[in-house]
Amino acid sequence: MDKNDVDRTLTRIAHEIWERNRGSENIAFIGIRKRGVTIAERISGKLKKLEGAEIPVGALDINLYRDDLSEIASQPILKQTEIPFSIKGQKIILCDDVLYTGRTVRAALDALIDLGRPKAIRLAVLIDRGFRQLPIQPNYVGKNVTAEKGELFEVFLEEDDGRDEVIITKGDLNGTEK
Amino acid sequence: MELKNKDLISISDVSPEEINLILDTAVSMKEISSREIKKVPTLRGKTIINLFFEASTRTRTSFEIAGKRLSADVVNISASSSSVVKGETLEDTGRNLQAMNPDQIIVRHPCPGAPKILAELLPASIVNAGDGAHEHPTQALLDAFTIREKKGTLSGLKVLIVGDITHSRVARSNIFLLLKMGAEVIVSGPRTMVPLFIEALGVAYIPDINAAVKDADVIMMLRIQLERQGKTLFPTLREYSRFFGLSRAVLENAREGVLVMHPGPVNRGVEISPDVLSGSYTVILDQVENGVAVRMALMYLLAGK
């Protein structure tokens, strides 16, 4: 996927969110650090153009909720969770770049529920690469790709990496879904 | 980036990068304490023992709350209610606790070096919560966190420490940490309470508190240990208070925006006057609040060891 593909995909997701929620009332975006936050901000920006209303965006760090803390060698570096609004009663759209095993999303769900009781949580991802290990399904998907097990998805976004691109490489699996 | 040792015994053992790692992690931890549900599941199934051979409310509670907010099981042991009163040695107490498989043991002891003995003996992570007149590393870390939070940086700041420098573990840990992070340290207090040749550490000594506060960005007041009076290093408390206490009149010589800190417990009217305590430049309660975040960060990082 190149810059235009990424942009078109996110535009479509924004329209889908707009359509299915009949507007943007009571919606808030929460991105999973770090590229999920960028995706959340972009979709929010696109919805603003459609709707005119500012939709809040929060950032979630899921490292404290990981299920593999006792299995990995060193503790992951924590980044801040910054959610400057109450999630109580809101329809939360959780955003991430790649959906793979589903473990990150499981951690994010636990983290969100510790912050309050949202009315609903929906999941939006740029890439769904299959091979789930948990019963988790996204509501909004940019692109479904069935990759081989040994393949690695790399998402680059302008704000984080200086360019918009999604590529598939042969590589180490650990590193896709953190 | 991770911590290189399984223990935290002394600030001299940690690098500036490790200090920054702990402080950065604490920023994330602080947010948890502001939530409605002040708990994350991170250290679920880990056991932390608070082993306190000396009186403490602030430090022990702070470690206990920190452990509980991370979902660890925290057990408190104080010397007066333990087998220590029956004559058990430190090493035997340590071995017996280790037999119950704790992951971390937080130790406060009147003898310098006691946590180090346990650290070398036991596989659990040992955190020094104050050992005699040696060190109190988590206090220095929470002080650094508070300064960084208020001033944005540590490097280049002038920090004045006033009081019994010789016998203060808080002063020692702070001096090591602040120098490591590029701050400048000045001490003040009666000559009898300041080590000879302290200049060799790179620390300036200015006996007159009015002169010492002039350029300071931060003033740390130390507690006068009233329980040690009798073996006293100055003639009377009143005299100490008049010469080295931080009053509004003294503070008028200081810069705008100076921070006033104190590790607690405070002797109101001795080292610090009540009107200074209630002033807007005083960040003593921020220090206490940040203590929980810094100790959570440390427990989290040590749990990977």
| Residue B2 forms contact with A (CB below 8 Å) | yes
CA dihedral sign of residues B57, B262, B288, B158: negative
Residue range B95-129, pLDDT digits in tens: 999 999 999 999 999 999 999 999 999 999 999 99
Respond yes or no: is residue B136 known to be catalytic. Answer: yes
The DSSP result for B236-266, as a single string, is -HHHHHHHH-B-HHHHTTSPTT-EEE--S--
What residue spans define the domains of chain B? 11-135+291-303, 137-287
Question: Under CATH, to which class is A3-148 assigned?
Answer: alpha beta
Nearest to A114 among B24, B37, B304 (CB): B37
Respond yes or no: is residue B134 known to be catalytic. Answer: no
Residue A176 pLDDT greater than 50, yes or no: no
pLDDT-flagged residues of chain B (< 70): 227-232
Residue B45 with chain A: CB contacts under 8 Å: 70
Asked if B199 contacts B130 with a C-beta cutoff of 8 angstroms, the reply is no
Which pair of structure tokens corresponds to residue B43? Answer: 């250290």
What is the pLDDT confidence band of residue A172, given thresholds at 50, 70 and 90? low
Task: Return phi, psi of residue B145, to 5°.
Answer: -60, -45
pLDDT at residue number A23: 76
- Give the span between the Cα atoms of B192 and B183, in whole angstroms: 25
pLDDT at residue number B233: 79
Quote the minimal CA–CA distance from A87 to chain B in Å.
12
Report whether the peptide linkage leading into residue B86 is cis, meaning its omega lies within 30 degrees of zero: no
Task: Look up residue B193 and give its DSSP letter.
Answer: G
Which pair of structure tokens corresponds to residue B268? Answer: 């109101």
Task: Return phi, psi of residue A153, to 5°.
Answer: -95, 130
pLDDT at residue number A171: 61
First to last CA, chain A: 22
The residue among A151 and B216 whose pLDDT is bigger is: B216
Q: Do domains B11-135+291-303 and B137-287 have the same CATH topology?
A: yes
- Give the span between the Cα atoms of B100 and B89, in whole angstroms: 17
Which residue from B minimizes the CA distance to A88?
B36
Report whether the peptide linkage leading into residue B265 is cis, meaning its omega lies within 30 degrees of zero: yes
| Residue B28 forms contact with A (CB below 8 Å) | yes
Task: Compute the half-sphere exposure of residue B55: CA atoms within 13 Å on the CB side of its CA.
Answer: 3
Output the pTM of the full model.
Answer: 0.89
The residue among A106 and A168 whose pLDDT is bigger is: A106
Asked if B302 contacts B6 with a C-beta cutoff of 8 angstroms, the reply is yes
- Overall fold of domain B11-135+291-303: Rossmann fold (3.40.50)
- Overall fold of domain B137-287: Rossmann fold (3.40.50)
- Give the span between the Cα atoms of B22 and B44, in whole angstroms: 20
Neighbouring residues of B4: CB distance < 8 A, sequence distance ≥ 6: B15, B18
Please report the ipTM that was assigned to this predicted complex: 0.80
- For residue B77, which of B91, B60, B89 has the smallest C-alpha distance? B60
What residue spans define the domains of chain A? 3-148
Which amino acid, A87?
I
Task: Return phi, psi of residue A10, to 5°.
Answer: -70, -35
Question: Is the CB of A114 less than 8 angstroms away from the CB of B304?
Answer: no
pLDDT at residue number B229: 59
pLDDT at residue number B93: 93
Nearest to A115 among B2, B35, B297 (CB): B35
Mean pLDDT of A1-25: 89
pLDDT at residue number B82: 75
Pairing between β-strand B204-205 and β-strand B184-188 as defined by DSSP bridges: parallel
Residue to test with chain B: of A75, A85, A86, A87, most B Cβ within 10 A: A75
- Give the span between the Cα atoms of A16 and A20, in whole angstroms: 6
What is the helix (H) or strand (E) element at residue B129, kind and residue range?
Answer: strand B125-131
Asked if B43 contacts B72 with a C-beta cutoff of 8 angstroms, the reply is yes
The DSSP result for B27-42, as a single string, is HHHHHHHTSSS---ST
Bridge partner list, A122: A93
Mean pLDDT of the residues in chain A: 88
Neighbouring residues of B252: CB distance < 8 A, sequence distance ≥ 6: none
Asked if B192 contacts B233 with a C-beta cutoff of 8 angstroms, the reply is yes
Question: Is the CB of A64 less than 8 angstroms away from the CB of B41?
Answer: yes
| Residue B24 forms contact with A (CB below 8 Å) | yes
Question: Measured at the alpha carbon of residue B279, what is the angle toward residues B278 and B281, in degrees to the nearest 5?
Answer: 130
What is the pLDDT confidence band of residue A175, given thresholds at 50, 70 and 90? very low
Bridge partner list, B8: B127
Which residue from B minimizes the CA distance to A67?
B42
- For residue B221, which of B160, B274, B280, B269 has the smallest C-alpha distance? B160
Residue B62 CB coordination number (10 Å): 25
